[in-house]
C-alpha cells in the first residue's frame, strides 16, 4: 500500500476522537465532513497540539482549538476550572492530542503495522504559521463541541523504505 486511503484515516481519526472525548472528557463531539487540504502557508490563532507519527508510515496529527475550548477541555480532563490559558492548560491539551492521535494510531496499526508517537508539541499564539517539509496534503476533520469548532488534521505517508517496497510489489504485478 503506497497511498493511505483517505476514508480509512478519516474513520480511524473520527473513532479515536469520539472515544477520547466521551471516555476521558465526558464530552460529545459531532464530526463534520472531512476534506483534503493542500499544505500551504496559512496563519493560525489559538492552540495547536502536534504529535508526530513514525514507523512504516510517517507524518503527524494536529489538534487546533481556540483558547476558550482549551480551557473547557483542560477543565474536563483535570476536573477543574480555568479562566485563561496557562501552562497547566497547555499540558492538558498536549495530553489530549496525544490520546486522540494515539487512539487513531492504534486503529491504523491493524492495517499499517506498528507505529510510534512523538512527544506532543503545543503552540499557542495569535498569528503563527506552520509548514511541514515534503507534506503535500492534510486530511482535515472538523468537529463541533459545545458550540466551538475543533479541527483535527492528519498527514501520513509511507516511509522511504515502505514506498520503495510498495513500488517493487506493484512492479511485480505488471
Q: Is 18 a member of any domain?
A: yes
CATH of the domain at 74: 3.40.1550.10
73 has pLDDT over 70: yes
Q: Is 10 a member of any domain?
A: yes
pLDDT at 103: 96
pLDDT bin (cut points 50, 70, 90) of residue 157 is confident
* Contact call for residues 44 and 116 (beta carbons, < 8 A): no
Cα(60)–Cα(118) distance, integer angstroms: 9
Domain housing 147 = 6-38+45-172
pLDDT bin (cut points 50, 70, 90) of residue 41 is low
Cα(166)–Cα(158) distance, integer angstroms: 9
167 has pLDDT over 80: no
Write 111-115 long-range contacts (CB < 8 A, 24+). Answer: 111/1, 111/8, 112/1, 112/4, 112/55, 112/56, 112/57, 113/55, 113/56, 114/55, 114/56, 115/53, 115/54, 115/55, 115/56, 115/57
Q: Is 122 a member of any domain?
A: yes
C-alpha cell belonging to residue 148: 466551538
How many helices (H) does the chain have, and how many strands (E)? Answer: 4, 8
Segment 6-40, tens digit of pLDDT: 889 999 999 999 999 999 999 999 999 999 887 66
pLDDT at 173: 34
pLDDT at 5: 78
Q: Is 147 a member of any domain?
A: yes
Cα(12)–Cα(1) distance, integer angstroms: 17
Cβ within 8 Å of residue 126, ≥6 positions away? 45
Give backbone dihedrals phi and psi of 102, rounded to 5 degrees, phi first. -65, -40
Torsion angle, CA of 63/74/103/166, rounded to 10 degrees?
A: 20
pTM here is 0.85
Query: How many domains does the chain fold into?
Result: 1
C-alpha cell belonging to residue 17: 476522537
Q: What's the mean pLDDT in 44-63?
A: 92
Q: Is 1 a member of any domain?
A: no
69 has pLDDT over 90: yes
C-alpha cell belonging to residue 15: 473513532
Amino acid at each position: 500500500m503506497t497511498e493511505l486511503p483517505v476514508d480509512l484515516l478519516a474513520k480511524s481519526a473520527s473513532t479515536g476522537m469520539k472515544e477520547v472525548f466521551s471516555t476521558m472528557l465526558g464530552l460529545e463531539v459531532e464530526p463534520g465532513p472531512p476534506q483534503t487540504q493542500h499544505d500551504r502557508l496559512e496563519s493560525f490563532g489559538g492552540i495547536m497540539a502536534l504529535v508526530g507519527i513514525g514507523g512504516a508510515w510517517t507524518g503527524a496529527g494536529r489538534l487546533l482549538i481556540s483558547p476558550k475550548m482549551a480551557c473547557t477541555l483542560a477543565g474536563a480532563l483535570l476536573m477543574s476550572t480555568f479562566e485563561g490559558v496557562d501552562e497547566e492548560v497547555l499540558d492538558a491539551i498536549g495530553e489530549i492530542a496525544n490520546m486522540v492521535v494515539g487512539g487513531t494510531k492504534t486503529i491504523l496499526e491493524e492495517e499499517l503495522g506498528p507505529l510510534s508517537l512523538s512527544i506532543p508539541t503545543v503552540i499557542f499564539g495569535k498569528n503563527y504559521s506552520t509548514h511541514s517539509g515534503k507534506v503535500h496534503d492534510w486530511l482535515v476533520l472538523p468537529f463541533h463541541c459545545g458550540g466551538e469548532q475543533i479541527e483535527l488534521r492528519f498527514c501520513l505517508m509511507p516511509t522511504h523504505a515502505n514506498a520503495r517496497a510498495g513500488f517493487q510489489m506493484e512492479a511485480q504485478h505488471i
